[in-house]
Amino acid sequence: MKAEQKWPDVLWIVRHGESAGNVARDVAYKAGLPLIDIAVRDVDVPLSEVGERQAEATGRWLGLLPSDQQPTVVLASPYQRACETARLICDTAGLSADRFVDGKIVVDERLREKEFGVLDRMTRIGIQQNHPEQAELRRLLGKFYHRPPGGESWCDVILRLRSIIDMLSREYRGERVLVVCHSVVVSCFMYLLERMTEDQILQLDRDHELANCSITTYAYDPRAGKNGKLLRQEYNAVDHLKQLGTQVTVERDAKAVAP
């Protein structure tokens, strides 16, 4: 008896394009400043010009796929840089909302960036100067479990993503799903989908800087496991950017030193 498919056919997880916050963070670290200079809320930080080109390049790549291989579902973090990335990808690819299962790009707060609470926008220098006790706690606990006051640990992000995984298997079986989110969220998706350990996901994070508009792809394999499952096809892929002559950037988000 053939097992019922409980997963999307394809899941693309895309980090947003380079943002103005990424650029500001790089400036702050090069200058040895304690605080990253951003004039708006983190949720409102827009894409940089480079980030817009990265999103458009990703859209051109998706637009070259046959129509029966293009996304039927698009989910995005509510942060402006992720929403802009999703919109530019869809506009450039020629993907109209009436082709989507939901009839629109779905903005979901569970895909938001990891929250840093009192450490928001601080560089390593700023954290050491203003919250040395938090720097020591993070050293003792590790970033997987450390939760700064008012913020989240990686475990907290994983907890909210568990319900996203449930939604994918409940509402989007057999669909082709594009998710636009943030670097830590991409890593936490991988942790859940591949049932990684703390050591495995943190080693991956140490070994690889997740590029802006990089694509991590999973595809459904009916032969994997009892009922089939999503298997990783690509991680942190940027060939679509390089092929179109678009700059590849790997800056971490501006919220704090270590996501």
Distance in angstroms (rounded) separating the CA atoms of residues 215 and 129? 37
Structure tokens at 211: 């590029």
pLDDT at 259 over 50: no
Range with the lowest mean pLDDT among 1-15, 141-155, 175-189, 210-224? 1-15
C-alpha span between 59 and 138 (Å, rounded): 38
The pLDDT of 231-257, averaged and rounded, is 86
What pLDDT score was predicted for residue 37?
78
pLDDT at 3 (0 to 100): 63
Tens-place pLDDT, residues 119-134? 988 888 899 999 999 9
Q: What is the pLDDT of residues 9-28, one digit of tens each?
A: 999 999 999 998 777 777 77
- Does position 72 have pLDDT exceeding 80, yes or no? yes
pTM (two decimals):
0.93
How far from 35 is each of 123, 124, 152, CA to CA, in Å?
Answer: 6, 9, 20
Q: What is the pLDDT of residue 39?
A: 74
The phi and psi torsions of 49 (rounded to 5 degrees) equal: -60, -40
The CATH H-level superfamily of 10-243 is Phosphoglycerate mutase-like (3.40.50.1240)
Work out the average pLDDT over 144-161: 97
pLDDT for residue 227: 76
Whether residue 193 has pLDDT greater than 90? yes
Mean pLDDT to the nearest integer, 210-236: 94
The pLDDT of residue 30 is above 90: no
Non-local CB neighbours of 107 within 8 Å, separated by 6+ positions: 75, 76, 77, 78, 83
pLDDT score for 16: 98
Return mean pLDDT, the chain: 92
Alpha-carbon distance of 91 to 113, in angstroms, equals 24
pLDDT at 253: 61
Which residues is 12 bridged to in the sheet? Answer: 178, 217
- What mean pLDDT is predicted for residues 186-195? 98
Gap between the Cα atoms of 241 and 61, Å rounded: 9
The band of 252, judged by pLDDT with boundaries at 50, 70 and 90, is: low
**Residue 121: its pLDDT value, please?**
84
Token output for 116: 């840093």
